[in-house]
Amino acid sequence: MNDLSFFLPCAAGVEEFLAQEVHALTGRAGQDLLTLRGGVRVRADWRDALKLNLHSRLAQRVLVELAHAPYRNENDLYAIASGVAWEIWFTPKQTFKIETTAQHSPLQSLNFATLRIKDAVADRFRAKANGVRPSIETQWPDCRVFAHLTTDSCTLYIDTSGEPLFKRGWRQDKGDAPLKETLAAAMLAASGWWNPETGTVSEQPLYDPCCGSGTIAIEAAQIARGMAAGALRRFGFEKLLPFQAHVWAAIKQEAEAAASDRSVAIFGSDVSHRMVDFAERNAERAGVAQAIEFRGGDALQRMPPVESGVIMLNPPYGERIEVGGVAGTGRFGARESAQVERGAEGDGGEGGDGGEFFPQLATHWKKNYAGWTAWVLTPDLKLPKQMRLKESRRVPMWNGPIECRLFRFDMVAGSARK
Ligand SMILES: C[S@@+](CC[C@H](N)C(=O)[O-])C[C@H]1O[C@@H](n2cnc3c(N)ncnc32)[C@H](O)[C@@H]1O
């Protein structure tokens, strides 16, 4: 198969890092690799698509662009979709699904637009395959088609990923608000701990003191060992016609051979013993149980696991995940907090609203973590003020639809803002 045009969507703010990662994985650059808003477009070959799916830690999906044309109404969409050689990609015996997204589209109904595209795909198959047409399956389709509409242009893609790529295949134990693996990887890239261009990681120990289900620590440990992000999962391309099992087997073997048992010190802790248990089981499934040390404990009381390093966390915030431990005296009062401390309440995540937690965390860090650098992801843009710390960097990031900042605090003795 010749070069194809791929679009790899990612969270806003992550595009540059994704472009570096795609460059490292495909060797493409210049006009072949464009950093766009919300993703990266790369001209590459089919084999690259398999590699990108297997290795990318930052992309949400790998899509093949099959048509890009102007449209004014639904009939135009029908015509554009009729002109695509869908029969190269799947058979009429397989199921499919169309997902349409739009930015400022003049069309009244996206459902109707989706229906017309679906009709065009089905009619094309019927004409080519003696009246047989593929059926729609909305939950577990064999093949996903994405349509993106702007004010005046329509782009059609076939998806090669299947389930979104943040699903690495190791998570069974979720906890309440797990970070997406892609976002954890973006935090590691933005902090410089991981360089997606060179694939290298820092020598600095990494510690997540509110580790929940362990996402940051597990992602970091897999990166440090050069493990492929998607080694444990299946992909959409396995059901597409260009798929060749022996090519895929060779790519996976190459990836396995490239992994090492290099270890960087990585630590995680959480006030909830239930979460620590989840994190340990997740790390086991992810193949990095030996590379991470998880412990229970309140972030306000835990002492540094090593002399210095990098702290990275998305702390409890808002209603879904409340602060537990000594500062968690809000909703349930001190008695509940004490129970959380001992892990007696099952999920220790509950407690106060964080009002006292952040100033106390800053005090604890200033006193005991001098020499550490802390990276904190939060939707609370006033967090530095609340912590009475001056950030040395702020990186905009999106946690799904929630705008966040990744703040960097350098914990030098006397870094307090009076
Ligand atoms: C937003 S979640 C972190 C999610 C995590 N990054 C993941 O991917 O699963 C916040 C975590 O902070 C924990 N937590 C709440 N109060 C804490 C405290 N005082 N000390 C340590 N952890 C605490 C909660 O149990 C919860 O697991």
Q: For the chain, which domains are there?
A: 4-159 (3.30.2130.30), 181-225+261-410 (3.40.50.150)
- pLDDT value of position 5: 98
CA distance 282 to 172: 7
Q: What is the number of other CB atoms lying within 10 angstroms of the CB of residue 19?
A: 25
DSSP state of 311: E
| Cα–ligand 1 centroid distance for 354 (angstroms) | 11
To test the pocket of ligand 1, the residue of 270, 278, 303, 337 to mutate (highest count of ligand atoms within 8 Å of its CB) is 270
What's the chain's Rg over C-alpha atoms? Answer: 24
User: Is residue 210 lining ligand 1, measured as CB closer than 6 Å?
Assistant: yes
CA distance 2 to 45: 6
Residues in the chain: 418
Give CA separation, 130 vs 81, 120, 178, in Å: 19, 16, 48
Task: Going residue by residue through the chain, which has 418 residues, state the pLDDT in tens, using 9 for 90 and above.
Answer: 689 999 999 999 999 999 999 999 999 999 999 999 999 999 999 999 999 999 999 999 999 999 999 999 999 999 999 999 999 999 999 999 999 999 999 999 999 999 999 999 999 999 998 889 999 999 999 999 999 999 999 999 999 999 999 999 999 877 777 999 999 999 999 999 999 999 999 999 999 999 999 999 999 999 999 999 999 999 999 999 999 999 999 999 999 999 988 879 999 999 999 999 999 999 999 999 999 999 999 999 999 999 999 999 999 986 555 677 777 754 333 333 333 333 333 333 344 456 789 999 999 999 999 999 999 999 999 999 999 999 999 999 999 899 999 999 999 865 444 4
- pLDDT value of position 62: 98
User: Is residue 321 lining ligand 1, measured as CB closer than 6 Å?
Assistant: yes
CA within 13 Å, CB half, 384: 19
| Cα–ligand 1 centroid distance for 71 (angstroms) | 48
Identify which of 18, 383, 25 has the alpha carbon closest to the alpha carbon of residue 182: 18
Token pair, residue 325, equals: 């431990």
**Residue whose CA is closest, atom 13 of ligand 1?**
210
Beta bridge partners of 17: none
Identify which of 54, 163, 73, 157 has the alpha carbon closest to the alpha carbon of residue 113: 73
- pLDDT value of position 322: 65
Read off the pTM.
0.91
CA distance 238 to 74: 32
Give the number of the atom of ligand 1 that is nearest the alpha carbon of residue 347: 25
CA distance 107 to 101: 12
CA within 13 Å, CB half, 239: 21
- pLDDT value of position 176: 72
- pLDDT value of position 320: 52
Report helix, strand or coil for 5: strand
Query: Do residues 81 and 67 lie in contact, with contact meaning Cβ atoms separated by under 8 Å?
Result: yes
Query: Do residues 197 and 21 lie in contact, with contact meaning Cβ atoms separated by under 8 Å?
Result: yes
Query: Do residues 68 and 42 lie in contact, with contact meaning Cβ atoms separated by under 8 Å?
Result: no
CA distance 208 to 407: 14
**Residue whose CA is closest, atom 17 of ligand 1?**
324
To test the pocket of ligand 1, the residue of 267, 275, 380 to mutate (highest count of ligand atoms within 8 Å of its CB) is 275
CA distance 351 to 328: 4
User: Is residue 282 lining ligand 1, measured as CB closer than 6 Å?
Assistant: no
Give the number of the atom of ligand 1 that is nearest the alpha carbon of residue 320: 1
DSSP string for residues in 63-121: EEEEEEEE-SSHHHHHHHHHTS-GGGT--TTSEEEEEEEESS---S-HHHHHHHHHHHH
Query: Do residues 312 and 206 lie in contact, with contact meaning Cβ atoms separated by under 8 Å?
Result: yes
| Cα–ligand 1 centroid distance for 384 (angstroms) | 19
**Residue whose CA is closest, atom 5 of ligand 1?**
212
Q: What is the number of other CB atoms lying within 10 angstroms of the CB of residue 303?
A: 8
| Cα–ligand 1 centroid distance for 323 (angstroms) | 8
| Cα–ligand 1 centroid distance for 405 (angstroms) | 17
| Cα–ligand 1 centroid distance for 398 (angstroms) | 19
User: Is residue 298 lining ligand 1, measured as CB closer than 6 Å?
Assistant: yes
- pLDDT value of position 330: 43
The angle at the Cα of 337, spanning 332 to 338, to the nearest 5 degrees, equals 130
User: Is residue 178 lining ligand 1, measured as CB closer than 6 Å?
Assistant: yes
To test the pocket of ligand 1, the residue of 207, 321, 332 to mutate (highest count of ligand atoms within 8 Å of its CB) is 321
**Residue whose CA is closest, atom 10 of ligand 1?**
316
- pLDDT value of position 129: 81
| Cα–ligand 1 centroid distance for 282 (angstroms) | 15
